[in-house]
Amino acid sequence: MPLQEKQLDPALLDAVDVFGGLDPSGKDEALAAAHWRKLETGERAFEQDQEADAFYVLSAGRLKVTQVTPEGQEIIIRYIGPKEMFGCVAVCGGLTYPGTATAVTDSWALGWTRATIGALAQTYPGIALNAMRTMGGRLQDTQSRLREMQTERVERRIAHGIARLVAQAGRRVEGGILIDFPVSRQDIAELTGTTLHTVSRTLSAWQERGVVELGRQKLTVRDPHALVVIAEDLPLKE
């Protein structure tokens, strides 16, 4: 596999937000200090409550970050795509990971130990600023979801959740936009705060109306506009 090649490619960090604005020597230094990690589908990068010893940037693939309640219920905090960082707690004072990161497709990640990334952030202050920007974005995103949870009915929340997935991992295919990784009804339920039953019913109704096309762990949005109409609760005619 091109693992070795990848390791030597300094362009690898070019489009990564955290290292944005870093001079080439800094990127080389960061790459040299990093270690590779391959994650098979279903494998976990780290688990909830485990000591936060490393910080990662996903290179390829897709992860989901989840939390489980003491009662055993699971919720999805967010999906991580290529070029996105995860395990940020390791760089912002947290002692343990607040969630579990699981690969939903085969993935590769670049990792830095807590000490390594700390030292890098000391040398290159831009890293901290970039990380803060990303965290700010995630905070706003999470607050939006909280607002949706508090004010919207299930159907709108599902529409918003799927719109978010489309924005993050949508791939144009003939006749629509496909979510580019396996998502089950259960996943969508854990993302929107409902049950797989309600998700199934809602999506079936949408399929009936031609808004989406369903498959096993597969979802294609045929009519993105209709999805927005549902998400924003717009009247059908205006």
Partner DNA sequence: CGTACTCTTGATTCACCTCAATCTGCGTGG
Partner DNA sequence: CCACGCAGATTGAGGTGAATCAAGAGTACG
By CB under 8 A, name the binding residues for its own copies: 67, 69-71, 73, 75, 77, 88-89, 91-94, 98-99, 121-122, 125, 128-129, 131-133, 135-140, 142-143, 145-147, 149-151, 190, 193, 232-233
The residues, ordered by sequence, that sit 6+ positions from 166 with a Cβ below 8 Å of its Cβ are 177, 179, 221, 224, 227
Least spacing, CB of residue 73 vs its own copies, in Å: 5
And the tokens for 197? 């039953």
131 vs 203 by CB, closer to DNA: 203
75 vs 229 by CB, closer to its own copies: 75
Nearest CA to 105 out of 214, 180, 192 is that of 180
Least spacing, CB of residue 155 vs DNA, in Å: 6
The residues, ordered by sequence, that sit 6+ positions from 58 with a Cβ below 8 Å of its Cβ are 80, 81, 82, 83, 84, 85, 86, 107, 108, 109
Residue type, 90: A
Least spacing, CB of residue 91 vs its own copies, in Å: 7
CA distance 169 to 175: 17
Least spacing, CB of residue 76 vs DNA, in Å: 13
- Is 203 a binding residue for DNA by CB under 7 A? The answer is yes
Helix, strand, coil percent content, the chain, rounded in steps of 5: 45, 25, 25
Least spacing, CB of residue 225 vs DNA, in Å: 22
Measured in whole angstroms, how far is the alpha carbon of residue 189 from the centre of its chain?
Answer: 16
- Of 9-17, 59-67, 104-112, 192-200, which segment contacts DNA by CB under 7 A? 192-200
59 vs 192 by CB, closer to DNA: 192
CA distance 156 to 160: 6
What is the contact mask toward DNA in residues 152 to 191, using x (rule: CB under 7 A)?
-xxx----------------------------xxx-----
* One residue of 2, 11, 125, 216 binding DNA per CB under 7 A: 216
CA distance 93 to 121: 13
The count of residues interacting with DNA (CB under 7 A) is 22
